[in-house]
Chain A
């Protein structure tokens, strides 16, 4: 690329945490600003959508997109950014796999809206209209964008060159990606900015993990006091570290809490939840069907736990291209 690289950062259905992962680069962010041309970044700069439309196709070298695809206008925006960019990067868990927002795929759009805007106990009018209903069609006010039938990860809508996993990605990983782009190297197709191996390999409690772990009943967090130095699974507490890609600095483990899988699956599997279920199967102690049922029953919300971050990307989900 000639001159400083041109960068865009955008959010779809996100939380702003991925933006914070950029702010958290602290002083390094000043260097990025000085060495790049950032043309669009609503969280920090005052450029508008019309400024993106005015760019030439391919003018942006790298666009970082975070958040899941939830509304119809997200589809339009990421298609616009795809057209304007040489390289598109799925920034964070929601763009990567749908994230927590993807849990919405357990329900229909109508259920999601009715719960929030009609059935909530603090609503003034339980039978009132939903957002968008009864609105004018744009003559005096901008029409309200609608929900897609399901939450989708970014790569269901547009081609994606690289993924930065994590909810949120560590700021040092963000710095690494920016440094590479500033050095003139755009990520190769299929790049994943995290470890190849599971979190267990870099877990500070790795040495306390027995060769073979067997569990007959899982315990729940609120009912249990656990050893802060010993592998969670060895203490009958579910930890998804064995099936989750490393690269997070074991930050939840450092707070004495188990992994919930935000970095997504390792290269060994496509579907995170399927991997988590295989993990549970491998932990079963020898026993009969009743024992197996008791183990499964001891997991209070298996679907919500195993697909907490990846339901929208699952082979079981509704995540087809619209």
Chain B
């Protein structure tokens, strides 16, 4: 007799999803499917809207990665109106975006996917959550994380208006400069963020990496996918969240492509799956071979682990040390185990904090000149940045009156969509055998997608 296991809804992530596992008569997995029942239609209802409203309109795709949408949308306006932001505006944007990735990665590590590796014990007791994480990591550290995250979000509210939905992005600049008093607060917050980031890495090495479940999963090939990887890099091929070129490496780590955002249509393709609203993407020049990994499949991954794999180095000294320790420990690059996303995310937390300190101390930050008024008629603009969950591209085409005629969005989790489905299926097949289904193995099936920190509202938009 066949049997069905439904995990509905999947939890501790942004958006709607369900896992549908079907067992054959022997009790082994015949299908394991990750479905996303969520759709809004942003690409259609953005048509007819005024271009200047797009960074604040499209960020409503996601309340968990709104700053990334705001930045990608604002950069698309820079390109659309051919208006480069003054130095101070660029610094303000990168500071806000980097601070956002810092606090959003903490959201994942303590509230969403992190509790899977922070909290021990029976998942049936339902304490794999932020409250269990605080208990596991200690009340002092837990409250420290909460309070630093609150301070960083307050800093971004000061820069962009709202901690959640910034509104400061304009074509060719930002709406509000930073003054000396604001800068003093920003330096203090960034310094506090860096101290916490260092502490978290130490705790990760001392406690989390040594946990038996995590060690077992990091060494378990059921959680490996041998895929291509993509991420934004600077001129020296180092990780950058705000700007750069998109670098792709092969499953064995060789450079495959390096292109600017306006060439995305030459490299990335979306496809429809009849059973889900989530549109997986793949590499155009490799092609779609179904839900499978390997060098012949165009399936690729983005996000923290992919950014580290796709880059040659980190741009800040402490993060670089951790980067080297990471690959020395793993023993090969690229690293393919999905559970390593957690570790890579914390290395990015450290990079983000160091970068916040650097940006906050830049003399140009307090220059009151933060706008470049456009002088050219708009036609088409592409903006790119790294969202916490991976590469994000906004593309707007308008008429001469700057009314949107076409909007195309390639959103972070879409790039991971095929890998997420494959990770869930691979974990389910490996962990469920001969009809034995435990809470622990179902938890590990869920861990196979949570490590990506998926955002399903983004993946469907």
* Chain A residues near B44 (CB-CB < 8 A): 104, 107, 111-112, 115-116
* Chain A residues near B146 (CB-CB < 8 A): 26-27, 30
* Chain A residues near B62 (CB-CB < 8 A): 15-17
Q: Shortest distance in angstroms between A289's beta carbon and chain B's nearest beta carbon?
A: 22
- Bound-state Cα–Cα, A234 to B114, Å: 49
* Chain A residues near B406 (CB-CB < 8 A): 121
Say whether A173 faces chain B, with CB atoms less than 8 Å apart.
Answer: no
- Bound-state Cα–Cα, A228 to B62, Å: 29
Count of chain A residues near B, Cβ 8 A: 85
Say whether A49 faces chain B, with CB atoms less than 8 Å apart.
Answer: yes
Interface residues on B, range: 35 or more
Q: Shortest distance in angstroms between B63's beta carbon and chain A's nearest beta carbon?
A: 2
Are A23's CB and B107's CB within 8 A?
yes
Residue of B nearest to A123 (CB): B270
- Bound-state Cα–Cα, A253 to B265, Å: 38
* Chain A residues near B457 (CB-CB < 8 A): 14-16
Q: Which of A201-209, A280-288, A301-309 participates in binding chain B?
A: A301-309
- Bound-state Cα–Cα, A288 to B5, Å: 70
Say whether B324 faces chain A, with CB atoms less than 8 Å apart.
Answer: no
* Chain B residues near A30 (CB-CB < 8 A): 131, 134, 143, 146
Say whether A290 faces chain B, with CB atoms less than 8 Å apart.
Answer: no
Mark out the residues of chain A between 15 and 60 whose CB falls within 8 Å of any chain B CB in the assembled complex. 15-21, 23-24, 26-27, 29-30, 33, 42-50
Say whether A120 faces chain B, with CB atoms less than 8 Å apart.
Answer: yes
Are A221's CB and B274's CB within 8 A?
no
Are B123's CB and A301's CB within 8 A?
no
Say whether A175 faces chain B, with CB atoms less than 8 Å apart.
Answer: no
Are B64's CB and A20's CB within 8 A?
yes
- Bound-state Cα–Cα, A122 to B407, Å: 11
- Bound-state Cα–Cα, A138 to B134, Å: 40
- Which of B43, B81, B112 gathers most chain A CB within 10 Å? B43
* Chain A residues near B455 (CB-CB < 8 A): 16
Are A42's CB and B11's CB within 8 A?
yes
Say whether A129 faces chain B, with CB atoms less than 8 Å apart.
Answer: yes
Measured CB to CB, the residues of B under 8 A from A are 6-16, 18, 20, 22, 30-31, 33, 35, 37-41, 43-45, 47-53, 56-57, 60-64, 66, 77, 81, 83, 107, 111-112, 123, 126, 128-131, 134, 143, 146-147, 149-150, 153, 157, 159-168, 170-172, 175-176, 264-265, 268-277, 279, 281, 288, 371, 373-374, 395, 401-403, 406, 408, 410, 455, 457, 461
Other contacts beyond A112-B39, A222-B402: 8, CB < 8 A: A20-B64, A26-B147, A44-B11, A44-B111, A122-B410, A123-B272, A144-B275, A222-B171
Measured CB to CB, the residues of A under 8 A from B are 11, 13-21, 23-24, 26-27, 29-30, 33, 42-50, 70-71, 73, 99-101, 103-104, 106-107, 111-113, 115-117, 120-125, 128-136, 140-142, 144-145, 147, 167-168, 220-223, 225, 228, 251-257, 260, 300-301, 303-305, 308
Q: List 18 A-B contacts (CB under 8 A).
A: A17-B64, A19-B14, A24-B150, A30-B143, A42-B11, A44-B130, A46-B126, A71-B39, A112-B45, A115-B41, A132-B274, A135-B275, A136-B275, A142-B35, A222-B83, A223-B374, A225-B373, A257-B167
